[in-house]
Structure formats: structure tokens, C-alpha cells
Structure 1
Amino acid sequence: MSDDDDFPPRRTRERLQGWVDDFLAEDGDSGHRIDVMPQEGERDLDTGLVVMRPRHSEMPIYIQPRAYDDPLWEMTLPARDEEVTMTPLELGRLAALVVAAVNLCTYLQFRSLEWDRRSGRRGD
């Protein structure tokens, strides 16, 4: 069964990678790494998880649909066990990362809504 025949609509890793590639083609290189990671979903189907990181840091921002079959997306900044002290330049880089993640999250949400509607499986 292809993901186009699946109900409700699924955002496979391949579909998400295509959307990320489209985003990068439109938005250009933001200086951040964007990876679409494997993530098992319901019925063991790959639903995808997008991870954005600054190029020279391992601090990730996770971007994903709120839930299975939910067209709305959310971002997660993982908790830290200790406080993080930053210079103004480092904090500025963090702010740029958050803005870039917001732009990507918004783009992925728009693409999900657009794809869900085109698939005929979600109303306007």
C-alpha cells in the first residue's frame, strides 16, 4: 500500500524530505543542519521527524506534527539539566536558530494542510 492510498494521510520520511528540500531551495542555506529522521508511527509506518541544529552545535530543535493525522505542527526544545550561560553572540545565534525553525515548522504545516486537502481526506 502506498502512502497515497493510506487513510488517514501520512507524512512519510520521503515526503517530509521532499518538503524540506523544497524549503531549502526556496529559503536558501540558513547555516543550520536539517535532518529528516526515521520515526516509527502507528502500525510501524515511518512518519518522519525533522531535526534542526546549528552547524557547530548539537543543540537540536525537534519539529513534528502534534499527533498522528494532525495537520498542525509543533517544535520542541529539549530540556537541559543545567543552566546555559551565553554571550550576546551565542544568544543571537540561538535566536536565529529559533526563527529558522519557526519558518520551517510553518512551512511544513502549510505543506501538510495543502497535501491533506489535495488528498481529499480532510475538509477545508
Structure 2
Amino acid sequence: MPFRSKETLERWVDEFHEARGAGERIKVIVQDGTDGADTGLVVVPLENATVTIFMQPAEVGAASWRVTIEPQPDTTILNSHQLHAMAVELSVAAELCAYLEARSVGHEETAVD
């Protein structure tokens, strides 16, 4: 079944970072897939909030991605500059999600046993 390996996602995130010049804190972490497949989970930490954004395909093999914003344990209080910086980070996350969806269209990669 087609999926995106952690290695593939790391390459895509690196290419996005090089092309966009943003998202240096974005990383791919190990996520155990079906039968122990080497899948990745894209993590976008936010500098001005205690929340992290996670991205992953909506389902294995799908070109569409979903974004999860974890619950925030603390109240975030920002000044206007910090809020603007957070808005920029969210914009970069949205661009990355669209980029990953575009790269996923027609991508075929199968797990190696």
C-alpha cells in the first residue's frame, strides 16, 4: 500500500524550507504505521504558543492531509508583534500542508519488508 516514509517526508520538508526560506523548526518524527512501516509525522512547533501542530495524510495513500492542533495547557497572552509572528507561523504551516498535498498526488512508495 502506498505511503510516505519518514525519509521521504524529511526530504520534502527540506525542499519546502529551501524554497520558502521558512519553517526551520519543522521536523518529521517517527510514527509507527501499519505493520511497523516507517511512516513519519510532520511536527510544526509554534514559537509564541505552547501548542504544536501535527500534519499527516488523512489516510494511508491519500493525497489529502489533515492538520491537528493539540490542546493548549496554558492560556497564551501575546502582544501585537507576537500575534503577528504566530500568524506568520500558521501561514507557513498552511503552505506546508498544501505543499505536502501537492507532492503526495501520484506519489507511489511501498513499504520494504
TM-score range, shorter chain: 0.7 to 0.9
> Which structure has the highest strand share of the two?
2
- Corresponding position of 2:10: 17
1:79: Cα distance to partner? 0.9
Greater alpha carbon shift after TM alignment, 32-41 vs 81-90 = 81-90
1:98: Cα distance to partner? 0.6
Deviations 1:37-93, CA, capped at 9 Å, x for gaps: 000011111210011124576632111111222210011111123432221111111
Matched positions, count: 109
Query: Contact 2:55–2:65 (CA<8 Å) still a contact in 1?
Result: yes
Equivalent position amino acid for 1:91 in 2 = L
Question: Structure 2: how far apart are the matches of 1:44 and 1:113?
Answer: 24
Larger Rg belongs to: 1
Equivalent position amino acid for 2:72 in 1 = R
Percent sequence identity over matched residues? 32
Q: Does 2:79 match 1:71? A: no
- Corresponding position of 1:104: 96
Question: Structure 2: how far apart are the matches of 1:33 and 1:82?
Answer: 21
- Corresponding position of 1:43: 35
1:32: Cα distance to partner? 4.1
Structure 2 runs not aligned, ≥5 long: none
TM-score, normalised by the number of residues in structure 1:
0.77
Superposition CA RMSD, Å: 2.0
Distance 1:55 1:90, change over 3 A: closer
